[in-house]
């Protein structure tokens, strides 16, 4: 069977349709299936692991088009390295510690401020006042210590990790690690002069720490170290940020603090690799904030999330800590719909589908014409046979023409059965077939009569028998 005939068989058409439907179903599944993103999470003793776990569970519970695969790390340097190396699509990053060169911000998970508080009579309100002082720290993280050290060095102070005992050298500050339970006694015995913490001011832990300092003050007032010129520090350390703690952040009677306190802080950010699709980045950001209320039931860290601030889109994408264009699409309510998101594929499929359809139609027309031409050729041959038979008296040749007529009849029938053929073409072939057969039949009859011997015409069997007698 030729390839052309194979294309015309109904089985082949059904198979082709089934393949096309299968391809369409596979494409629809590919478009609708959930996108699995790998997210690197750190630090293990922070609030971020619980927050991301709650986010992942909320995505699965709500059957969103995004799913998260969590990679846990001990330190934010490791999570940043995972994003930089391409082992993660998303990562919890603290930019002042390690900023991946391929990371763009989706959201701020937690804004932290460096809080240095002491009972008010201490008079510690400026960084230079910390000279030869001991600072208590409750959670000793390398990232927090690096920030404290950078700030002290800006004011010409040297940080000592641990209490060396005795009087401290000039221009030195000691960092004393202790638990929250030991802090009241440390203030009572003057083991420490102040407490330092890098934390969200509204966090319950921050509220408790300041409450302990307030209890250690005879006047129940708290002194906070204020950073006088945050702009100069940020210009020197651009990955930090200015933080203002409003008056009464820690209480209103008495006011704690009594007035706004300016300090420096850092942020834990959810970052995505720069080449992550804008639509996927927008979906991740949208779901993060849409599911916040449900996530807050699992962890209070969900309440600290916020969108990064920016004035214009240009400022957002060109900032020192740039924002992912997909996140900007969500914040600006310019997310792409289904058509915009897949318009390239839709146009491509439409173009290819139109091209394939045209090609199939052309092939069908071509095969139909070939089929019609073959029947027309058979019809022409039948007419030629009829003409040839009219002038023939050779029985052997006429028998050959009769067999050829039968072959042509079978060929015409076969072509007509394979595919519907125009009625006009079949009608002409049928007329030519009848005419050829009739002509050959008459020619054969005439040839047989011409072959009888002279005088045998009109003789009957009875007369022949009488003559023989």
Segment 124-128 shows an average pLDDT of 93
Query: Kind of pairing, strands 66-72 and 35-41?
Result: parallel
326 & 192 share domain:
yes
Q: Do 352 and 420 lie in a common domain?
A: yes
Residue 63 lies in a domain: no
For residue 237, what are the β-bridge partners?
none
CA distance 395 to 448: 8
Which of 328, 329, 291 is CA-nearest to residue 308?
Answer: 328
Write down the mean pLDDT value for the chain: 82
Lowest mean pLDDT among 244-248, 301-305, 419-423: 419-423
Single out the residue in 336, 367, 392 at which a domain terminates.
Answer: 336
Q: What is the CATH number of the domain that holds 276?
A: 3.40.190.10
pLDDT bracket for residue 460 (50, 70, 90)? very low
Q: At 162, phi and psi to the nearest 5?
A: 110, 165
CA distance 459 to 467: 11
Give the mean pLDDT of 396-402: 81
**Cβ atoms of residues 68 and 51 within 8 Å:** no
Specify whether 384 is located in the same domain as 254: no
Domains in the chain, number: 2
Contact indicator for 12, 2 with CB cutoff of 8 Å: no
- For the CA atoms of the chain, what is the radius of gyration? 47
Confirm whether 455 is domain-assigned: no
Spatial CA neighbour of 151 closest among 215, 96, 214: 96
Within this chain, do residues 133 and 177 fall inside the same structural domain, yes or no?
Answer: yes
Q: Same domain for 357 and 216?
A: no
Say if residue 388's pLDDT is above 90. no
- % of the chain at pLDDT higher than 90: 46
The closest alpha carbon to 197, from 251, 100, 277, 117, belongs to 117
Q: Let me know if residue 469 belongs to a domain.
A: no
Among 336-350, 378-392, 428-442, name the one with the lowest average pLDDT. Answer: 336-350
331 and 409 inside one domain:
no
- Distance, in Å, from the CA atom of 74 to the CA atom of 144, rounded to the nearest integer, reads 14
| Last residue within a domain, chosen from 313, 336, 359 | 336
Of the pLDDT bands very low, low, confident and very high (cuts 50, 70, 90), residue 1 is very low
Phi, psi torsion values for 446, nearest 5 degrees: -65, -40
Confidence bin at 61 (pLDDT 50/70/90) = very high
Whether the pLDDT of residue 347 is over 50: the answer is: yes
Angle at 444 between CA 442 and CA 449, to 5 degrees: 95
Residue 415 has pLDDT above 80, yes or no: no
Is residue 301 within 8 Å of 48, Cβ to Cβ?
yes
The answer to whether 261 and 224 are in contact (CB under 8 A) is: yes
Whether 201 and 113 have beta carbons less than 8 Å apart is answered as: yes
Closest CA to 135 of 106, 153, 169, 161: 161
pLDDT of 24: 63
pLDDT of residue 351: 67
Q: Is residue 396 part of a domain?
A: yes
Distance, CA of 378 to CA of 409 (rounded, Å): 8
pLDDT of amino acid 374: 75
> Which of 35-49, 176-190, 362-376, 446-460 shows the lowest mean pLDDT across its residues?
446-460
In terms of Cβ atoms closer than 10 Å to its own Cβ (0-12, 13-18, 19+), residue 282 is buried
| Dist. CA 166–CA 163, nearest whole Å | 9
Residue closest to 272 by CA, chosen among 190, 329, 198: 329
Residues 123, 265 within the same domain:
yes
Residue 70 covered by a domain: no
Could you tell me if 191 and 182 are in contact, meaning their C-beta atoms sit under 8 angstroms apart?
no
Nearest to 113 by CA among 19, 23, 189, 226: 226
CA distance linking residue 160 with residue 201, whole number of Å: 25
Residue 43 lies in a domain: no
- Looking at the structure, do residues 305 and 351 belong to the same domain, yes or no? no
Same domain, 394 and 305: no
Q: 312 and 347, same structural domain?
A: no
Identify the weakest region by mean pLDDT among 130-134, 154-158, 174-178, 373-377: 373-377
Q: How confident is the model at residue 57 (pLDDT cuts 50, 70, 90)?
A: very high
Residue after which a domain boundary falls, among 316, 336, 356: 336
16 domain-assigned: no
Domain presence at residue 89? no
Do residue 291 and residue 424 come from a single domain? no
Model pLDDT, residue 463: 38
Alpha-carbon span 342 to 54, nearest angstrom: 30
| Same domain for 111 and 181 | yes
Q: Is the peptide bond before 381 cis (omega within 30 degrees of 0)?
A: no
Which of 6, 2, 8, 14 lies closest to 421, judged by CA?
Answer: 8
Residue 459 pLDDT > 90: no
| Domain range enclosing 351 | 341-450
Q: What is the DSSP letter of 126?
A: S
Query: CA 450, CA 307: separation in Å to the nearest integer?
Result: 111
């Amino acid at each position: 069977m030729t390839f052309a005939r194979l294309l015309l068989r109904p089985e082949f058409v059904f198979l082709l349709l089934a393949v096309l439907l299968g391809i369409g179903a596979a494409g629809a599944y590919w478009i609708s299936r959930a996108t699995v993103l790998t997210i690197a999470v750190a630090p293990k003793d922070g609030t971020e692991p619980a927050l991301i776990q709650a986010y992942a569970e909320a995505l699965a519970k709500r059957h969103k088009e995004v799913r998260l695969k969590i990679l846990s790390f001990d330190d934010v340097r490791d999570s940043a390295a995972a994003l930089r190396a391409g082992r993660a699509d998303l990562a919890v990053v603290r930019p002042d510690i390690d900023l991946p060169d391929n990371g763009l911000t989706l959201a701020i998970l937690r804004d932290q401020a460096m809080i240095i508080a002491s009972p008010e009579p201490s008079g510690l309100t400026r960084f230079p006042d910390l000279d030869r002082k001991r600072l208590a720290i409750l959670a000793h993280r390398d990232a927090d210590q690096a920030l404290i050290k950078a700030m002290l060095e800006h004011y010409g102070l040297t940080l000592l990790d641990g209490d060396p005992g005795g009087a401290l050298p000039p221009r030195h500050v000691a960092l004393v690690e202790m638990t929250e339970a030991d802090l009241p006694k440390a203030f009572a015995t003057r083991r420490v002069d102040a407490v330092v913490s890098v934390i969200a001011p509204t966090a319950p832990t921050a509220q408790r720490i300041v409450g302990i300092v307030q209890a250690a003050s005879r006047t129940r007032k708290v002194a906070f170290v204020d950073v006088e010129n945050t702009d100069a520090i940020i210009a020197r350390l651009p990955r930090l940020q200015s933080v203002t703690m409003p008056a009464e952040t820690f209480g209103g009677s008495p006011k704690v603090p009594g007035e706004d306190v300016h300090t420096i802080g850092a942020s834990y950010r959810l970052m995505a690799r720069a080449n992550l699709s804008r639509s996927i980045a927008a979906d991740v950001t949208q779901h993060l904030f849409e599911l916040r209320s449900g996530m807050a039931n699992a962890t209070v860290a969900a309440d600290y999330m916020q969108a990064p601030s920016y004035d214009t889109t240009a400022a957002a994408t060109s900032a020192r800590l740039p924002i992912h264009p997909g996140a900007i699409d969500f914040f600006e309510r310019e997310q792409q719909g289904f058509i915009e998101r897949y318009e390239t594929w839709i146009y491509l499929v439409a173009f290819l589908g139109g091209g394939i359809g045209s090609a199939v139609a052309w092939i069908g027309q071509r095969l139909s014409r070939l089929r019609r031409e073959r029947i027309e050729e058979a019809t022409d041959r039948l007419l030629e046979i009829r003409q040839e038979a009219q002038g023939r008296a050779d029985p052997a040749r006429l028998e050959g023409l009769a067999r050829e007529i039968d072959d042509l009849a079978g060929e015409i029938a076969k072509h007509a059965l394979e595919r519907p053929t125009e009625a006009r073409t079949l009608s002409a072939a049928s007329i030519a077939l009848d005419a050829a057969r009739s002509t050959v039949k008459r020619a054969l009859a005439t040839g047989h009569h011409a072959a009888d011997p002279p005088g045998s015409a009109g003789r009957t069997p009875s007369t022949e028998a009488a003559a023989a007698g």
